[in-house]
Chain A
Amino acid sequence: MKQLFESCVTHIENSLQGAEAYTANFKAEESDFVRFNKSSIRQAGSVRQAHLGIDLINGNKHAAGSTTLGADPDTDKAAIDKLINTLREQTAVVPEDPYLLINESDKSNSVVRGKELPQSEQLVQSVLDAGKGRDLVGILASGPVFAGFASSHGQRDWYENRSFHIDWSFYHQLDRAVKTAYAGCTWSDDEFNQQVETAASRIEPLSRESIKVKPGPQRVYLTPAALKNITGMLGWGGFGMRAHKSKQTPLLQMVESNAQLNKLVSIYENAENGVAPSFQSQGFQRPDCIPLIENGLYKNCLVSPRSSLEYETPCNGAYDSEAPVSLEMAGGSLKREEILQKLDTGIWIDNLWYLNYSDRNVCRMTGMTRFATFWVENGEIVAPLEVMRFDETVYRMLGENLIDLTEEREMIIDSNTYNSRSTGSTLLPGALIDDFRFTL
């Protein structure tokens, strides 16, 4: 794939006219996807895709577009020529862009992660073995993901990540299940089997008769996977410079009214600890670590190249969406073995689901419990709980009502495969919260 990327870049450079400049983005994957239901294969297939994006620049005028690539050099050159001609025509028509920021660095870097993975058929067999005697449903994704960047200034970045991701649930019945995942660049039978056995051991409590509790405040423990839904929602405008300046951030009260979260809460965009490329789509490097919230206080926004010029703030390598890609949250002092005891009586929530803002101005979110959610009494799991809806502000759940965060944190690799496999990740603790408001 790197050869394909380089040949495309050479062709772009040979095609430029006059004062034209460019930036180019390359994305590709060679993935196997196998989905399972009832411990059998439901759909099995492969995807080989490559896309080239070009931003054609002439002074302060520019236009962007992309095309799919095959493997035949002549066909790909013709596709690039067609795209450049379209962009050239558009560039002649559009007005100057006051917020066009070009990275003029010629620094290049290359990151290649993962070596040869086991054959996907072998991974499929491991999943089928894990499902024997159980009701397993989920997906295996495996193979390399590629990204590249090039510009007229000579910058060349390359990223290659060979990885696997098995995301699955063991179902007891109806909506009761234990959801888990095993992901990485190096496969280990022992690690996978340990993950399988840990998940399987948690099915038993799901077989107990379920309990309904009335809507109202409850003490809850959110696992890192459940907390990821909360931080994921915060990422939707919560940390972007544009959302802050246009007053659409869900953290508006932190900006306008000096509202604070609990001092335990520190959130970072930590590219160094993530698995995503170290460069964003316009070639700007992502710094190792950007404090977003520290000790409950708002610190920094994520600033894209456009926002940098629009709001006269230095760009800090954010994508256009200005959303975190490698979010990290600091841990607290709660030890894993003390969680149930400190929860005492309340609700253990493995997963949340389908969150949305019910009042964005005050960062109030609604959502559902999902999969393994248990009623706990006196530090003991009593029974599974029927799904419940919550409606709660972040200022309460991660503010005055946050009791503690776990010392241990969990790295969660994003299993999102919309359009292509995600390279996002989140490093999170679990959270013990008082008076978490359930409404239905």
Chain B
Amino acid sequence: MNVDGIRQRFTETLPACDWATVRYMEEDRNFICVRDDVVQPLDSSLDAGVMVTVSVDGGVGYASTSDLGLSGLQDAAQKAKKWAQLDAQHGLLKKEDAQAPQQSGQYLGPCEKPWSSVSLEDKVNVLRDACERTQAEHIVERMAWLYNTNVKSMLLWDGGEIEQNYSILVPEIRATSNKRASTETRSFGGGRLARQGGLEILDQEGFNEAPERISAEAVELLFAPQCPEGEMDLLLAPDQMVLQIHESIGHPLELDRILGDERNYAGTSFVTMDMFGEFQYGSELLNISFNPSMTNEVASYAFDDNGTPAQKEFLIKNGILLRPLGSSLSQARADLPGVANARACSWKRPPIDRMANLNLESGDNSFDELVAQVEKGVYMESNCSWSIDDSRNKFQFGCERAQLIENGELKGVVRRPNYRGISSSFWRSLKGVGNDVRILGTPNCGKGEPNQLVRVGHATPHALFSNVEVFGGEA
């Protein structure tokens, strides 16, 4: 990245305007996959470009380009100015709502063992070994992969700049078993082991110890009975809690949804602006934080993409809804407090209100203590199906694997576990929170028009809910 060159060209191309920024973003992505012991085609990609944002008469316009030359930036600046002028005439927002960034700064993500520090041959061998070790009777497909991306971003404006650099790793192992018309898949983390950092994450998460267990569990599921049907206690593992938090707390608290921006695509919210400060979202055990400073979590940063300094804030404390996931612009529109969550998926898209790291704070119970509380229930692990209505209220989730809990003890494995509920009442049935927080994250959260996929972190312990509607697959 030639930042000095972009800064120089930005200064040269700045049109007459109230304020302007240029946001450079570069992603160097690498994907290695071994499937059934065959190394799949390697994929290395570099995606780099800028977005120019111009404000004129209170209107804001955007233009992005992968042409980083002088003429490319000039063209983008003129287009952004044209859109700003049209927005000033016909825009939804008030003139004073959008503001230029104020504070310069830097963020450097954690990384002990960079992707480039290990040879390609060694990385391939780690995956070949993992893939080979998932081999077993009834296993019909085996996969192991590593996805890495190295992100460099720079937000420049007249008088300041923010630089943020970090690396991300998503490791995965999958084994699929089959017998006649029955197929089961077990994975390392359901694709939700996205973390900031380098290859040290493999050791931290026990990647090398996982293949045989994953394979054995995939086969075990083939012969397990269906998950029972009925209302019962439900204990959720962190790799399912990720989706439960994401869909039924994260999305409904996005302030731009509440303000109606997403009604044509991602949807609305059952949460209304008058609920903040008083709505009992969950039981007293529910404490949800927006925490961009969590080491290793996938969406940690010091500033959001509008340049707002980021810090930890509680969205829900002791079950009471306190503040939405609203960036500075949405806060001004709604007259509500918020967080630094204006995020863009890349240089091609403008920032919108997103989740970043959205976490369930640790509770007091060990896993065994949570199990001991259950007379009759199910323990579910690893999300494999997710669905929720457009106001993020009526949900249904499915998991890869479950175990019965009877009289405070874990019992036999059951397959195709599902459960459903309603967000606005579900969290009030939270009756136990573990003290075993695990840092996870999802690499593909979709939202926005034009569409944007961002990475979202969720650190969460096990959690126990009462009286949940649980059921299995087709009889």
Contacts and interface: CB of A to CB of B under 8 A. Distances in A.
Contact of A353 (B41, B390, B420): B390
Interface string A79-109: 1000100110110011101111000000000
Given A46-B83, A256-B180, A356-B386, A40 B91 contact: yes
Contacts of B46: 65-68, 79, 83
Interface in B254-301: 259-261, 263-265, 267-268
B38 A98 contact: yes
Interface stretch (B56-64, B320-328, B368-376): B56-64
A47 B183 contact: no
Contacts of B385: 356-358, 366
Nearest to A30: B65
Interface string B44-82: 111111010000000011111111110110011001100
A175 B391 contact: yes
Contact of B41 (A68, A71, A97, A124): A97
Contacts of B61: 44-45
Interface stretch (A13-21, A31-39, A199-207, A271-279): A31-39
Interface in B382-431: 385-391, 394, 396, 398, 416, 418, 420, 422
B366 interface: no
B192 to A, nearest CB: 15
Interface stretch (B13-21, B309-317, B447-455): B447-455
A71 B76 contact: no
Interface residues of A, number: 93
Contacts of A174: 268, 391
B350 interface: yes
Contact of B140 (A67, A75, A94, A247): A247
A269 interface: no
Contact of B181 (A55, A63, A361): A361
B183 A41 contact: no
Secondary structure type dominating chain A contacts: strand
A387 interface: yes
B67 A70 contact: yes
Contacts of B181: 252-253, 256-257, 361
Nearest to B75: A48
Interface stretch (A137-145, A150-158, A186-194, A376-384): A137-145
Interface stretch (A163-171, A220-228, A260-268, A291-299): A163-171
A94 B39 contact: yes
B43 interface: yes
A70 B83 CA distance: 22
A172 to B, nearest CB: 11
Contacts of B422: 440
Contacts of B183: 247-248, 252, 360-361
Contacts of A356: 385-387, 396, 398
A63 B387 contact: no
B87 interface: yes
A64 interface: yes
Interface in B73-110: 75-76, 79-80, 83, 86-87, 90-93
B39 A68 contact: no
A241 interface: no
Interface in B117-163: 119-121, 124, 140-141
B42 A64 contact: yes
Nearest to B177: A247
B49 A353 contact: no
A90 B42 contact: yes
B23 interface: no
B230 interface: no
B473 A359 contact: yes
Interface in A351-374: 353-362, 364, 366-368, 370
B436 to A, nearest CB: 28
Contacts of A330: none
B187 interface: no
Interface residues of B, number: 81
Contact of B396 (A95, A362, A391): A391
Contacts of B72: 48, 70-71
B25 to A, nearest CB: 11
A87 B120 CA distance: 12
B449 A138 contact: yes
B296 to A, nearest CB: 27
Contact of A124 (B90, B92, B350, B452): B90
B21 to A, nearest CB: 13
A157 B60 CA distance: 39
Contacts of A71: 67, 69, 71-72
Given A175-B390, A246-B141, A248-B176, A37 B263 contact: yes
Contact of B450 (A248, A256, A417): A417
B433 to A, nearest CB: 26
A358 B386 CA distance: 8
A97 B69 contact: no
A353 B389 contact: yes
B225 interface: no
Given A49-B64, A97-B41, A362-B474, 14 more contacts: A47-B450, A64-B41, A70-B67, A128-B90, A169-B264, A171-B260, A246-B176, A356-B386, A356-B387, A358-B396, A358-B398, A368-B390, A418-B452, A440-B422
23 contacts: A33-B449, A37-B261, A42-B92, A43-B350, A43-B352, A48-B75, A49-B348, A70-B65, A86-B44, A89-B120, A94-B120, A94-B124, A98-B38, A121-B86, A128-B90, A137-B264, A139-B264, A175-B268, A246-B140, A355-B387, A358-B418, A358-B473, A418-B452
Interface of B: 38-39, 41-49, 51, 60-69, 71-72, 75-76, 79-80, 83, 86-87, 90-93, 119-121, 124, 140-141, 176, 178, 180-183, 185, 259-261, 263-265, 267-268, 348, 350, 352, 385-391, 394, 396, 398, 416, 418, 420, 422, 446, 449-453, 473-474
